[in-house]
Chain A
Amino acid sequence: MMDVMGFFDIVLALALPWLGWRLLASSDLFRAVVLFISLGLLMSLTWVRLQAPDVALAEAAIGAGLTGALFLSALRRLERLSESERRLEHAGKREEDETIPPEKRRRAKPVAYVLSLFLLVVFVLLLGWSLGQTPGAKGGLGPAVAGQMGQSGVQSQVTAVLLNFRGYDTLLEMMVLFLAALGVWSLTRVRQTQQGEVPGPVLATLVRLLVPLMIIVAGYLVWIGSSRAGGAFQGGAVLAAAGVLLLLANVTVVRQVPAGLLRWALVLGPLLFLLTAVACMGGGGNLLEYPGQSAGVWILFIESATAVSIGVTLAALYAGGRPPAPSAPEKDNEEGPGSGVDKGGKA
């Protein structure tokens, strides 16, 4: 029954590892990142084939889009930091490592690699065989979830699992995101940009057209999440994309966002989620046990709050550092001896 879709699946299943291999084997970092983004898109196609629409959306927006953007901005910064390094990178010659005398290094390295390669093959065979042996787990918790959908207050099963049945995971996951933002802010500071840079005409119009559209789409995604594919993460991701666009265009209003407001935006999602969880306990129930039939309403409320926070957090991650001190002239004394980290995101 080699119908077209079956053939498409085979091509897809083979393309993914091949792309992965090409990605890592490529000598140029920029090529690698571009390949990575394309791999992300292919991956979201796979999710669609495997009837996982929510995951496909998330993968496309966050997996491919945002992570790719992060990689690109990091690459930009790396290049700026080490122009010379870049040339070396081009020559594709592996950098000499003085710490180990050359002739010794030759011998030590290959032995370890050959061994690791061999072990990798054994590992893959082993796992492949054992995966082949065991039949699929007949739907795992699927039936249990279906059974409880009634009380979950939402139609979409994934959203029900995410925010009701295993809401605690999502709460912790929000904490992870907040932690990432916290980490990035603690490590670097975004450099103060010169006022004069005005975005090119194409970018300006693009921003003017797209940003409002994106915001509407995000709202829609959050709203539809309760019934069909969508939800806080996907909505948040779209919002983040809008944020990234604004950052790229160096729109002045983005620069003047007061730090306090930014911090509250970051904290809003997790805080509200936490407070609602505790509020549920108020009414005699367990943690995160939405009272009575109003689960749907609570879920929607939480989703919208978290969507906003996710958007702002992901944008902040892209910005790559805590906002520059508003007034103080930019004397970069805070981060160790090196020169300040250049402003990320400039196209």
Chain B
Amino acid sequence: MNTLFLYTMSGLALFAIGLHGLIRSSHLLRKILAANLMSSGVFLIMIVGACGTDQVMIDPVPHAMVLTGIVVSVSTTAVALVLVCLVQETTNRALLWQKRKRGQGGRTDA
């Protein structure tokens, strides 16, 4: 049970918890948090795969990939958060499926 395997397992756990959160939570903000968790999990697995033991040197490519991944996830999160505010503002619910708002427009069957 060396530490690398342990880290892989914790990465996998993070991914699973993220996925579960994405599926289960009803509030959009939580879903975005969960999505970030999932990507951190994946990054963890990539980096663990990359770090070498004593005789094998560190593989820089996953590092670059993770860096790109982090930047990508921050951009998508930013757009997602803005969208959440817009959704909240127009439908007054931060949930995905709509509730009949008192008076303001019928249910959009999106």
Among A13, A89, A143, chain B packs the most CB atoms within 10 A around the CB of: A13
Contacts of B5 in A (CB 8 A): 131-132
Q: Tell me if A46 is interfacial: C-beta within 8 Å of chain B.
A: yes
A-B Cβ contacts below 8 A, count: 266
Contacts of B29 in A (CB 8 A): 29, 32, 71, 74-75, 78
Contacts of A161 in B (CB 8 A): 60-61, 63-64
Cα distance A252–B6 when bound, in Å?
50
Q: Restricting to B11-49, which residues have a CB under 8 Å from any CB of A?
A: 12-14, 16-21, 23-27, 29-30, 32-34, 36-37, 40, 43-45, 47-49
CB distance from A210 to the nearest CB of B (A): 22
The reply to whether B79 and A184 form a contact with Cβ atoms under 8 Å apart is yes
Q: Tell me if A295 is interfacial: C-beta within 8 Å of chain B.
A: no
Q: Which stretch, A49-57, A201-209, A213-221, A278-286, touches the partner chain B?
A: A49-57
Q: In the complex, which residue of chain A has the Cβ closest to the Cβ of B105?
A: A337
The reply to whether A99 and B98 form a contact with Cβ atoms under 8 Å apart is yes
The reply to whether A81 and B85 form a contact with Cβ atoms under 8 Å apart is yes
Contact with A62, one of B23, B51, B74, B85 (Cβ below 8 angstroms):
B74
The reply to whether B68 and A173 form a contact with Cβ atoms under 8 Å apart is yes
Q: Which stretch, A174-182, A243-251, A258-266, touches the partner chain B?
A: A174-182
Cα distance A146–B99 when bound, in Å?
58
Where the two chains meet, the residues of B that have a C-beta atom closer than 8 Å to any C-beta of A are 3-10, 12-14, 16-21, 23-27, 29-30, 32-34, 36-37, 40, 43-45, 47-53, 56-68, 70-79, 81-86, 88-90, 92-95, 97-100, 104, 107
Where the two chains meet, the residues of A that have a C-beta atom closer than 8 Å to any C-beta of B are 6, 9-10, 13-14, 16-17, 20-21, 23-24, 29, 32-33, 36, 39, 43, 46-47, 50-52, 54-55, 58-59, 62-63, 66-67, 70-71, 73-75, 77-78, 81-82, 85, 89, 94-95, 97-99, 113, 116-117, 120, 123-124, 127-128, 131-132, 136-143, 145-146, 157-158, 160-162, 165-166, 169-170, 173, 176-177, 179-180, 183-184, 187-188, 233, 310, 314, 317, 320-321, 335-339, 341
Q: Which 10 A-B pairs have the closest CB atoms?
A: A180-B75, A142-B59, A338-B89, A17-B13, A157-B60, A24-B21, A74-B81, A317-B78, A9-B3, A13-B10
